[in-house]
Amino acid sequence: MLKKDKKTILIVDDDQDFLFQMKVGIKDMGFEVVTADTQKEAEDIIRRMKPDLAILDLMMENQDTGFILSHKIKSLYPDVPVIIVSAVTAETGMLFDVTSEEERDWIKADLFLDKGIRMDQLHKEINKLLKL
């Protein structure tokens, strides 16, 4: 039986420490990882390749960078699961969720997680979204 290629996960975040931690943690889960730390860099990547899943920071150059990137990914690749991670709730008190159809419709993400998520929990969520 042929070994299936590893799934590729795109991680986009302007916090270099968080990006590094996520990259190491997700590689340890057995995935290939591609990273970007700006919206433009992420847009260049998604034009060149289709990730199997994307993890996007919400607030980067703009307060809605994650939403913009999520819309772009979903318009190019509707079947690619998108997770938005953010510290926005801790920083602003604003709550975002994608539990209702209406929220998913405008946020265009499959899951919204607060930063500080444990790697084991993230691994479960990734496996669920990728149906592994």
The pair of three-digit structure tokens given for residue 17, joined into one six-digit string: 């420490």
Start-to-end C-alpha separation, the chain: 18
Integer Rg of the chain from CA: 14
Instruction: Give 85-114 pLDDT, tens digit per residue.
Output: 887 544 444 555 545 455 545 556 888 888
pLDDT in tens, 16-68: 999 999 999 999 999 999 999 999 999 999 999 999 999 999 878 777 788 88
Give me the domains of the chain, ranges plus CATH numbers: 1-13+26-57+70-85+127-132 (3.40.50.2300)
